[in-house]
Amino acid sequence: MNVFLQRHAASVIGVLHGFDRLLFRGTQRLLATAAGLMHYLWSAQVLLKNFGDWSQSLTEQVRSASEQVMRDANRPLIYLRDASASKEQMARQIARDDGIKTGPVCLLSSVEPCWSYEIHRSRSERKLILEPRYRKCLHLYHYRIHPQLGLMHARVQTWLPFTMKLCLNGREWLGRPLECYWSVDQSEWASDVMFKSPAALAGIYPKLIRQGITTLGSVEVMRFLGQRLTATGQINGHFAGEVVSDLRQRPEGMRLKHRVNANSVKMYDKQGSVLRVETTINNPRDLKVFRGTEAEPQKKRWRPMRKGVADLHRRAEVSQSSNERYLGALGAMDCQASVGEVLEPLGQAIQVRGRRYRGLRVMEAEDGKLLAAVGRGEFAINGFRNRDIRVLLMGAEARGAEEKRRRSGRISRRLALLRAHGLIRRVSKTRRWMLTGKGQQVVTLLSVAKAASAKPLMEKAA
């Protein structure tokens, strides 16, 4: 990212990072599973044959209480026959028409799909069984304007298990003293690069779009989003998802989006003079967080990221890293200097603290494979260790202790060489390393150069 900012320093005013859109999910954990609900029904002495009437009475209570809040505030209750209609746009229009600056705006309702429960009779077991089912029910959207967070809404499911979603913009934190288990269904982390004028951004944006759509392939997109690649830097054969890049014309401008399964990173021009890069996470389990478990919080290791708000800090770190890698890649590709001018200094021997280090031979197999290894996507977020690079370059770990020490020493010397040339740095208080801004630029340039077609290069050289 620093490469991109340095490249356009004369046109950029500043950068703002933060969550753009957060979709929290509130779950009553006891009611969220059939076993938990059965336990609750037993404690409440509700027979399964009476489940329908009992659950319907709860639905009426939820609906009545929700509607009463808006009636007390003299705000409109609107039923939408088309569930796909833009509810936020409608709420904003109502707020403008009625001059609402803070407080309740309206209650919108529509029938939408949901997970709920139903009773059916098992012929084999000859008894009633409670099972989760994908159904449709009425959902209530409470829109209000918060003094600090602006327009926000709560979506309430009116059937068991009464799941609630809260959507807001900004960086405020939800208060902890709530009974629900809060999770983040979707997050959008935006990095806004503010240019001095719309003309300054318009002058480079078409080129950024062209570079992004033509040179950022599936491998690069998976690197941005922290996905693991093979030892040769290719997509793992066990990867069963999809990687998609698409370009779309929006009312406010052109948008380029890259998606790996349910997570994505996109770029678009916002309000004329703002270049926004935004990482959206819908499925955090594709990513990792260093944590313990609820039963053993001190037993920490890298585990799949959860939707719970406890991992929100890690979600922000991963999203910020994704945005920085994307802008860094664009900055490297937008470099006005030739590849040779960027890489040539690395080929010169240097002195660091009285010790001489040879120059790098980036186009040769040994150093080229080393740079490709340290630049892999899975290391972009958590960094890499000597062992990680050792396995990639030398294969499976050696069985003998002496051979293992020999290999480890060789990799240590090669990492020291990269550090001396300013391409990697040590992560504080760990045994991990990460690429520097200069290292990201070099790795990206090499990747693009290797992927480039020879024909257009020869035509330009002719």
The answer to whether 209 touches 247, Cβ cutoff 8 Å, is: yes
Kindly give, in sequence order, each residue whose CB lies less than 8 Å from that of residue 202, ignoring residues fewer than 6 positions away: 269
Q: Say how many domains are in the chain.
A: 3
State pTM to two decimals.
0.63
In this structure, of 169-183, 188-202, 207-221, the range with the lowest mean pLDDT score is 169-183
Query: 378 versus 14: which is more confidently predicted?
Result: 14
What are the tens digits of pLDDT across the range 408-455? 999 999 999 999 999 999 988 788 898 887 887 788 777 766 655 555
How many CA atoms within 13 Å lie on the side-chain side of 12?
17
pLDDT bin (cut points 50, 70, 90) of residue 174 is very low
What are the tens digits of pLDDT across the range 267-323? 998 878 899 999 999 999 888 888 988 888 888 888 999 998 889 999 999 899 889
Asked whether residue 138 falls in the same domain as residue 111, the answer is: yes
Per-residue pLDDT, averaged over 160-164, amounts to 94
pLDDT over 80 (residue 81): yes
**Range with the largest mean pLDDT of 138-147, 258-267, 344-353:** 138-147
The answer to whether 429 touches 320, Cβ cutoff 8 Å, is: no
Asked whether residue 432 falls in the same domain as residue 315, the answer is: no
Asked whether residue 123 falls in the same domain as residue 229, the answer is: no
pLDDT bin (cut points 50, 70, 90) of residue 389 is very high
- The range of the structural domain enclosing residue 299 comes to 2-17+190-238+268-333
Per-residue pLDDT, averaged over 40-49, amounts to 94
pLDDT over 60 (residue 460): no
Average pLDDT, the chain: 85
Query: 217 versus 129: which is more confidently predicted?
Result: 129
The reported pLDDT for the residue numbered 172 is: 40
The answer to whether 11 touches 200, Cβ cutoff 8 Å, is: yes
For Cα atoms 102, 104, 106, give the angle at the middle one, nearest 5 degrees: 130
Does a structural domain hold residue 262?
Answer: no
**Range with the largest mean pLDDT of 11-20, 108-117, 229-238:** 108-117
Per-residue pLDDT, averaged over 366-371, amounts to 90
Indicate which CATH number applies to the domain containing 383.
Answer: 1.10.10.10
Asked whether residue 362 falls in the same domain as residue 328, the answer is: no
pLDDT bin (cut points 50, 70, 90) of residue 178 is very low
Does a structural domain hold residue 185?
Answer: no
Per-residue pLDDT, averaged over 206-234, amounts to 70
pLDDT over 70 (residue 177): no
Asked whether residue 209 falls in the same domain as residue 283, the answer is: yes
For Cα atoms 136, 138, 139, give the angle at the middle one, nearest 5 degrees: 110
Residue with tokens 């059937």: 159
CA 114/CA 137 separation, integer angstroms: 7
What are the tens digits of pLDDT across the range 105-125? 999 999 999 999 999 998 888
Does a structural domain hold residue 129?
Answer: yes
Asked whether residue 320 falls in the same domain as residue 359, the answer is: no
pLDDT over 80 (residue 143): yes
Residue 74, both tokens = 């003299």
Query: 343 versus 360: which is more confidently predicted?
Result: 360
pLDDT over 90 (residue 90): yes
**Quick one: what percent of the chain has pLDDT higher than 70?**
85
The answer to whether 137 touches 114, Cβ cutoff 8 Å, is: yes
The reported pLDDT for the residue numbered 219 is: 67
Q: Give the containing element (helix H, strand E) for 41.
A: helix 34-43
CA 456/CA 193 separation, integer angstroms: 32
Query: 371 versus 339: which is more confidently predicted?
Result: 371
Asked whether residue 362 falls in the same domain as residue 419, the answer is: yes
For Cα atoms 109, 110, 113, give the angle at the middle one, nearest 5 degrees: 135
pLDDT over 60 (residue 45): yes
Residue with tokens 């639905």: 59
Per-residue pLDDT, averaged over 343-370, amounts to 89
Would you give the DSSP letter of residue 424?
E
Kindly give, in sequence order, each residue whose CB lies less than 8 Å from that of residue 381, ignoring residues fewer than 6 positions away: 226, 287, 288, 317, 318, 321
The reported pLDDT for the residue numbered 446 is: 78
Instruction: Detail the DSSP E strand segments found in 271-381.
Output: 274-281, 288-291, 301-304, 350-352, 355-357
329 by Cβ neighbours in 10 Å (0-12 / 13-18 / 19+) ranks as buried
**Quick one: what percent of the chain has pLDDT higher than 90?**
44
CA 327/CA 192 separation, integer angstroms: 11
Q: How many residues does the chain have?
A: 462
Asked whether residue 377 falls in the same domain as residue 292, the answer is: no
Asked whether residue 322 falls in the same domain as residue 373, the answer is: no
What are the tens digits of pLDDT across the range 395-406? 877 778 889 899
CA 60/CA 132 separation, integer angstroms: 20
Question: Positive or negative, the Cα torsion across 350, 351, 352, 358?
Answer: positive
pLDDT over 50 (residue 175): no
Asked whether residue 195 falls in the same domain as residue 323, the answer is: yes
Asked whether residue 89 falls in the same domain as residue 209, the answer is: no
Per-residue pLDDT, averaged over 227-250, amounts to 69
CA 388/CA 411 separation, integer angstroms: 10
The reported pLDDT for the residue numbered 461 is: 47
Does a structural domain hold residue 343?
Answer: no
The answer to whether 407 touches 387, Cβ cutoff 8 Å, is: no
